[in-house]
Amino acid sequence: MRVKRMSLKGDNQMIVLSGTIGAGKTSLTTLLAGHLNAPAFYESVDDNQILPLFYKDPKKYAFLLQIYFLNKRLDSIKEASNNKYSVMDRSIFEDSLLFHLNADLGRSTDIEVQTYDSLLENMLQQIPNSKFQKTPDLLIYISVSFDTMLKRIKKRGRSYEQIDNDASLYDYYHELNQRYRSWYEKYDLSPKIEIDGDKYDFVTNEKAQKAVIKLLDEKIKEVLG
């Protein structure tokens, strides 16, 4: 893809991607980081030993999985803060959405929910006079239809994510996709922009990639200068 690279101004500018499973966060992170000549930070998935266990036994591993992700997410934010600018493929502010969905499905206890919420609140508190930034300068939300979500999940082929192997995942994915819409509408911690992942298939289509980059360039110029 040949597009003119854009440079961000200022110090420690952090752009964060958000969206449901299969939305294309990793693809857009790679694309945008390359365009901005910025370091990319990815969610720990392929090397995550807990994730396959969670899909086999959600009640046993839901709490442990979210603690793992929360810890890794904070590590990534700390590392990103050492760079002039960065692009991250998952927001720490989505973790509560994911864990509370599992809680509502009976996959965690009340004490686990209370412990998790208290830990997250403490982790997100900003230390006075600290340069360690936890809130992004811009949040990019990739919205996709439920059908697109399912197609992407099937295409990437992780066995433990497949509905064919576990029919209960259908309802889980459907509820997750719906909750993301509500989460994004309520999100107000930073400037934000929504990218329609159905309209712009930036994962495979070069024309769509250029269109999305143009939209993001305009938004970045608006909020980051």
Complete DSSP assignment for 75-121: HHHHHHTTSSEEEESS-GGGHHHHHHHHHHTT-S-HHHHHHHHHHHH
**From the CB of residue 51, how many other CB atoms can be counted at a distance below 10 Å?**
18
Task: For residue 22, give the DSSP letter.
Answer: T
| Residue 24 assigned as binding residue | yes
Q: Which of 46, 89, 110, 166 is catalytic?
A: 89
95 carries a ligand binding annotation = yes
210 is in an annotated binding site: no
90 is in an annotated binding site: yes
What's CA 143's distance to the chain center, in Å? Answer: 11
Q: Is the distance from CB of 19 to CB of 25 less than 8 angstroms?
A: yes
Is 155 annotated to bind a ligand? Reply is yes
| Residue 112 known to bind ligand | no
Distance from chain centroid for Cα 24: 10
CA distance 71 to 52: 18
| Residue 89 is a catalytic residue | yes
19 is in an annotated binding site: yes
**Does the annotation flag 152 for ligand binding?**
yes
User: Which residues carry out catalysis?
Assistant: 89
Binding-site positions read 19-27, 43, 55, 66, 90, 95, 152-156, 161
Binding-site positions for ATP read 19-27, 152-156
